[in-house]
Chains A and B, each alone.
Chain A
Amino acid sequence: MRFLSSLLLAAVATIAFASVPASATGVIKCDAGPASGWKSQETLTNKLTKEGWTVRKAKVDGGCYEVYGTTPEGDRVEAYFHPVTLEKLYVGRRGEVLFRKKGY
């Protein structure tokens, strides 16, 4: 009986583990259409660098460009940009929201 319960428990735990999708951070979602219409990541990082950012890392997340770096004001942040307009949508620091564009 006890062995069965433990087995059941292990099964539940395994299913819980297995059924979780490899989730994106997913703070922000961009519905920006097919990637062929996007501006390139280099365009974004070059633009940001010109504006005074230090870009440590950039990637695609939730259909947006996600950038880890330092703002011109000197804050270490994680920021999201629209891949077509390159508009700033979200700036956060370790889960704390510093800026969020209306509607996102």
Chain B
Amino acid sequence: MLRIILNNKKAFWALLCLPALFILQPYASGDLIAMDMLHPTGEWSARFMIAAMALSPLLSLLGPRPTLIWLIQRRRALGVAAFAYAVLHLVFYVIDMGNVDDMLAEFFALGIWTGWVAMLLFVPLALTSNDISMRALKAGWKRLQRMVYPVALLVLVHWIFIHNNLVPALVHFIPFLLLVAARFFLPRRPIFKGA
């Protein structure tokens, strides 16, 4: 029974939707306003993005462990979830700002335009996260998806400068950076074909 649930792709999507339910509940009940929703939506978007990026360095550190393989088979879904939470984030930003003039007035703040560019680059990544695009783009698909690294860098800058606060951004990015560093300094494990 557990195996059936674990192998069900829809069950994984449901899992990815779970944080959204908790995030949206206090907004739906009127306890929080749109402004308050930027924090949880942005943070969850960044978390899913970092999780998706952490899988390859983890694979080369740990080798093909079953849990890792299970996650890697669902990496595309993680990326799409990151995008979906970013869309929510943007929706709440627009609701909170309420008009285009105010959005334009702050566009050139370092903490804002980096968010917009990250969002823009995110779109082709999300749009091509499906079997049809993978087949159509062939080797180009991987090259395209590598754009997640500049996106991550933009998100890091966005996160630091939106509040001029290093701490929460680094708390999320340092574990990932440690993994990447470890990948360079520790010997690689052989990776099985197809993993």
Q: At the interface, yes or no: B167 with Cβ under 8 Å from chain A?
A: yes
Assess the B109–A95 pair: CB atoms within 8 A: yes
- Closest Cβ of chain B to A99, distance in Å, is 15
Q: How many A-B residue pairs lie within 8 Å, measured between CB atoms?
A: 71
Assess the B186–A76 pair: CB atoms within 8 A: no
Assess the B175–A5 pair: CB atoms within 8 A: no
Q: At the interface, yes or no: A27 with Cβ under 8 Å from chain B?
A: yes
Give A6 to B55 CA distance when docked, in angstroms. 13
Contacts of B167 in A (CB 8 A): 20, 23
Q: Name which of B70-78, B79-87, B134-142, B156-164 contacts chain A.
A: B156-164
B contact residues, range: 20 to 34
Within 8 A of A (CB), among B82-127: 97, 102, 105-106, 109-112
Assess the A2–B62 pair: CB atoms within 8 A: yes
- Closest Cβ of chain B to A10, distance in Å, is 8
Q: Mark A25-56, 1 if CB is under 8 A from B, else 0.
A: 11100000000000000000000000000001
Name the 4 nearest CB pairs between A and B, nearest first: A13-B175, A94-B109, A95-B164, A95-B111
Q: 10 pairs across A/B with beta carbons < 8 Å?
A: A2-B61, A5-B61, A6-B61, A9-B179, A9-B182, A20-B167, A23-B168, A27-B163, A92-B164, A96-B109
Binding site for A on B (CB under 8 A): 33, 35-36, 58, 61-63, 97, 102, 105-106, 109-112, 161-165, 167-168, 171, 174-175, 178-179, 182, 186-187, 189
Please name 20 further chain A to chain B contacts, defined as beta carbons within 8 Å, in addition to the given A17-B175, A70-B102, A96-B109, sorted by A numbering. Answer: A2-B61, A3-B62, A9-B61, A13-B175, A20-B171, A23-B168, A25-B165, A27-B164, A57-B35, A76-B97, A76-B106, A92-B164, A93-B105, A93-B109, A94-B106, A94-B109, A94-B111, A95-B110, A95-B111, A96-B111
